[in-house]
């Protein structure tokens, strides 16, 4: 009886060992280069191209990507639109057996962190993808698009959340982005388009943005500081190439005394005059290539 029990235990042990070895071999010999190319093809749309320097296995079982960049192919930009030094994804493997996909992800970017999940209730070619995420402590001064000659013209720590719905081809159907920024500073003399002689500081900055495949809508953008208020709303209609995207933005800047000189310089640039309360209102239309200021 004891010998039979010992044989059963040995059989189970060898079976588990064989399964473990098989899983390890599959894990290590997985075609990661093929997965890399599939991700690039799936999430590159128009002028926006996904670049991945390296992809490989991760632990707990998952995938690790290095130097992930989203670049605008036909825009003369000093760097990527967004770049993550490291991106890790851990699928919920048991949900795959039920025909669903759920993957937790986290990333390191601009000295901050991003984490969230990707969900597809059905694992088939026509299934939609839901992406939800939160980010915090992103240092804006580290983003190359917010720098001029290697020096940042915008500083602050960004946090917020996002929710996106993608179709089966990776095209965005709709999305919402909420941004919060504490102690934002637009550095004087550094911004390439604004004639600021000194720093412009916002104690709090909040924004809500809604997106579709064809349009970005700035529902609200509010910056408040000491005797300073900036409000922006409007839309950007995407075109190919991106420089031809059309603008319909409305801005309102107010400062009674603290930034009166800076407000006057901006008023000269946009050819508008502040009212008696120190409020400057104007619009930006035209395209990204050729913006036009008006009432």
- pLDDT digits over 90-101, tens only? 888 777 666 677
Angle, vertex CA 141, rays to CA 79 and CA 256, nearest 5: 125
Helix (H, G, I), strand (E, B) or coil at 17: helix
Most confident option among 11-20, 29-38, 154-163? 154-163
* pLDDT surpasses 90 at 227: no
- Separation CA 283–CA 260 (nearest Å): 20
- Separation CA 294–CA 249 (nearest Å): 10
CB-neighbour burial class of residue 107 (10 A; exposed 0-12, middle 13-18, buried 19+): buried
**193 HSE (CA, 13 A, CB side):** 5
Band (pLDDT 50/70/90 cuts) for residue 3 is: low
pLDDT digit string (tens) for 177-215?
A: 999 988 888 887 766 666 677 788 888 899 999 999 899
Helix (H, G, I), strand (E, B) or coil at 225: strand
Closest CA to 107 of 77, 71, 63: 63
Angle, vertex CA 100, rays to CA 94 and CA 105, nearest 5: 75
Percent with pLDDT over 90 in the chain: 28
Give the long-range contacts of residues 27-33, CB within 8 A, separation 24 or more. Answer: 27/57, 27/61, 28/57, 30/57, 32/56, 32/57, 32/63
Query: Phi and psi for 170 in degrees, rounded to 5?
Result: 85, 5
Which pLDDT does position 247 carry in this prediction? 94
Using CA atoms, how far residue 124 sits from 120, 130, 283, in Å, is 9, 14, 45
């Amino acid at each position: 009886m004891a010998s039979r029990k010992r044989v059963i235990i040995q059989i189970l042990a060898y079976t588990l060992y064989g399964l473990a070895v098989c899983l390890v071999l599959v894990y290590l010999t997985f075609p990661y280069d093929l997965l890399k190319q599939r991700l690039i093809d799936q999430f590159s749309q128009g002028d926006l191209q996904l670049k991945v320097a390296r992809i490989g296995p991760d632990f707990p079982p998952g995938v690790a990507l290095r130097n992930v960049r989203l670049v605008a192919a036909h825009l003369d930009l000093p760097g990527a639109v967004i770049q993550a030094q490291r991106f890790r994804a851990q699928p919920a493997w048991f949900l795959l057996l039920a025909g669903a996909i759920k993957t937790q992800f986290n990333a390191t970017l601009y000295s901050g962190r991003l984490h969230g999940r990707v969900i597809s209730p059905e694992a088939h070619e026509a299934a939609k993808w839901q992406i939800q995420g939160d980010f915090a402590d992103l240092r804006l001064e580290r983003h190359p698009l917010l720098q001029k000659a290697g020096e940042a013209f915008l500083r602050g720590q960004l946090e917020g959340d996002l929710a996106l719905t993608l179709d089966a081809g990776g095209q965005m159907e709709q999305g919402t982005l909420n941004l919060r920024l504490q102690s934002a500073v637009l550095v004087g003399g550094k911004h390439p388009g604004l004639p600021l002689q000194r720093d412009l500081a916002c104690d709090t900055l909040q924004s809500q943005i809604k997106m579709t495949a064809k349009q970005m809508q700035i529902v609200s953008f509010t910056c408040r500081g000491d005797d300073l208020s900036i409000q922006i709303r409007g839309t950007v209609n995407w075109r190919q190439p991106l420089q031809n995207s059309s603008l319909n933005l409305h801005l309102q800047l107010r400062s009674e005394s603290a930034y009166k000189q800076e407000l006057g310089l901006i008023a000269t640039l946009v050819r508008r005059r502040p009212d008696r309360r120190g409020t400057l209102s104007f619009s930006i239309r035209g395209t990204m290539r050729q913006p036009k200021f008006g009432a």
